[in-house]
Amino acid sequence: MKNRSMQEPTFLILTALAAGPQHGYGIITDVLQISGERVRLRAGTLYAALDRLQGEQLIETDREEVVDGRARRYYRLTGEGASRLSAEAERLRRHADTAAARLRRGPAAAQLSLGGAS
């Protein structure tokens, strides 16, 4: 599991929790903001992901409180979760750097480097 790349929602959930403990709705709104309103997590999707991430020991319950008569559970990133998020961010950064470098060279340079010059 450690060598697999993360799905985008997982990456964004862990990124949201990297700023500090949050409850479910806070994570949903933070992910929406981080993604430029491109990723909208539904509650069912979020809580299934949170259960999975807890099982993988990437996050843990920080605390629970009652607000307006409703229980609110806060989650936090574990040390392992921070390590995995950091590794995934570095992996994505390397890919983005490679893509940017190739775009700067342009298609003609890419064809020459592949031996495809005509």
Residue pair 41/30 in contact (Cβ under 8 Å)? The answer is no
Range of the domain at 76: 8-104
φ/ψ of 59, rounded to 5, equals -135, 165
CA 60 to CA 110: how far, in whole Å?
Answer: 46
Is residue 113 domain-resident?
no
- pLDDT bin (cut points 50, 70, 90) of residue 111 is low
- pLDDT bin (cut points 50, 70, 90) of residue 107 is confident
CA 21 to CA 76: how far, in whole Å?
Answer: 4
pLDDT value at residue 1: 47
Is residue 34 domain-resident?
yes
How many domains would you assign to the chain? 1
pTM, 2 dp: 0.84
Is residue 109 domain-resident?
no
Residue pair 35/17 in contact (Cβ under 8 Å)? The answer is no
Is residue 2 domain-resident?
no
pLDDT value at residue 106: 85
Is residue 90 domain-resident?
yes
Residue 110 has pLDDT above 60, yes or no: no
pLDDT value at residue 4: 79
Q: Residue 27 sits in a domain of what CATH number?
A: 1.10.10.10
Is residue 114 domain-resident?
no
Is residue 3 domain-resident?
no
Is residue 1 domain-resident?
no
pLDDT tens by residue, 1-53? 456 789 999 999 999 999 999 999 999 999 999 999 999 999 999 999 999 99
